[in-house]
Amino acid sequence: MRPVLRARRVLAAALGLFLLAGCSGGAAAPDTGRSPRPAPPVSRAQVSTVPADGAQEVHTGDDVAVTVADGRLLSVRLADDRGVAVPGRIAPDGTRWSPSEELTPATPYTLDAVAVDAAGLRADQHSAFFTAGPAHTVTAFFTPDDDATVGVGMPVSLRFSRPVADRAAAERAVEVTADPPVPLAAHWFGDRRLDVRPEHLWTPGTQVRVALRLAGVEVAPGEYGTQTRDIGFTVGRSRVSTVDLATSTMTVREDGEEDRVLDVSAGSPQHPTYRGVMVVSEKFAETRMNSKTVGLGDEYDIKDVPHAMRLTASGTFVHGNYWADEEVFGNANTSHGCIGLADRQGGDPQSPAGWFFEGTLVGDVIVVEGAEGEGVPPSNGLNGWNMSWAEWRRGSALGVH
């Protein structure tokens, strides 16, 4: 089958929504008769980035900077989708970083900064943005990475830098194949995103290849593609984990065999976790979660959330939780929608969260089951598996074959 455009990785931020780092919580613990755990110390350092997280069409001459108030920068890394870092410099007083080279047009970038306050407490900041391409050209960013090994739920996903008017022409410009062969179908989410998947989860060991032949293709009036490239990825072992909201547990299965049952704390009745099939789209050893990014005001701002694995573009994660009482896990759902696993501040590789994080591939599947909560929208992250095969195929611009 034939979908579309260029093979640069589409940052998970670009899957129709942007990089929101949202859910957290874990406030109320069950009554155990013990004194509640003291609140962990929080860094006073306030990190800001320019351009804003999720910015598109950023001109290469625009200001790019990281600044910090009430602290100093320890490290800053600005890198393109191939992992190539942009050189830069932290000011002598540690309050500002700026790149020393101009950025590349039509490229996705990630910006990661770490700062500390006077007490040595860390604050992390992660953001992503896209630079503008030349006039009258359209770029598509590709996920997963070329030559990556991924989980069985990973689709081919293409995110276009500009709206695509002639979706059929774009869809014909690329051929996606699998070895061993399996029927594939494309589905458009709006006019900027095209995903391709099989009817069922990939078979472990499958080799997926994408032949991008966009050069010279007019995908919108006066807008032409320029890319010609061959890319691909390998499907690794199968890991499918099932979260039971009623029992606050997650059963981890690898290649069909039960590996471990972990106690979790999922979304509270006021903020229930999405139900359905979700795919891990990003992993962060540590990240910041701020309730303002998901419309929850000032409820929380945790600057060093460990072992975070993104499930939706709108801010649902599986992540380590060091601030809740240990009795929460397996007994009560208390978060703002995320799935929390016991952890320690700074991230403990021996904790349940650390164990799960280390064994997880981007593309692994988490199925959330329960009576409460809405089904996850298929366009919210890499979660098209929540559509039937018939509905999925109707999303192709080339019709159902």
Nearest to 185 by CA among 380, 387, 395, 377: 395
Chain centroid, CA 210 distance in Å: 21
Q: What is the pLDDT of residues 306-342, one digit of tens each?
A: 999 999 999 999 999 999 999 999 999 999 899 999 9
In 3-state terms, what secondary structure has residue 358? helix
pTM here? 0.82
Q: What is the mean pLDDT of residues 18-35?
A: 48
Domains delineated in the chain? 46-130 (2.60.40.3780), 135-235 (2.60.40.3710), 239-385 (2.40.440.10)
Q: What is the pLDDT of residues 41-54, one digit of tens each?
A: 888 999 999 999 88
Active site amino acids:
319, 338
Strand order in the sheet with 46-50: 46-50, 65-69, 96-99, 88-90
Q: Between residues 63 and 13, which one has the greater pLDDT?
A: 63
26: exposed, middle or buried (Cβ count in 10 Å: 0-12, 13-18, 19+): buried
**Cα 340 from Cα 324, distance rounded (Å):** 9
**Cα 287 from Cα 325, distance rounded (Å):** 21
Q: What residues contact residue 241 under an 8 Å CB cut-off, 6+ apart?
A: 250, 251, 252, 253, 356, 364, 365, 366, 367
pLDDT at 373: 85
Q: Is the dihedral of CA 172, 173, 179, 185 positive or negative?
A: negative
Helices and strands (DSSP H and E) totals, the chain: 3, 27
**Cα 337 from Cα 91, distance rounded (Å):** 38
Q: What is the pLDDT of residues 93-110, one digit of tens each?
A: 999 999 999 998 888 999
Q: What is the pLDDT of residues 253-280, one digit of tens each?
A: 999 999 999 999 999 999 899 999 999 9
**Cα 291 from Cα 247, distance rounded (Å):** 26
Q: What residues contact residue 120 under an 8 Å CB cut-off, 6+ apart?
A: none
- Mean of all residue pLDDT scores within the chain: 88
**Cα 249 from Cα 116, distance rounded (Å):** 35
Residue 30 confidence (pLDDT) above 80: no
- If phi > 0 it is left, if psi is from -120 to 50 it is alpha, else beta; for residue 391 that is alpha
pLDDT at 4: 33
Say if residues 308 and 319 touch (Cβ distance below 8 Å). Answer: yes
Say if residues 16 and 190 touch (Cβ distance below 8 Å). Answer: yes
The backbone torsions φ and ψ at residue 251, rounded to the nearest 5 degrees and listed phi first, read -95, 120
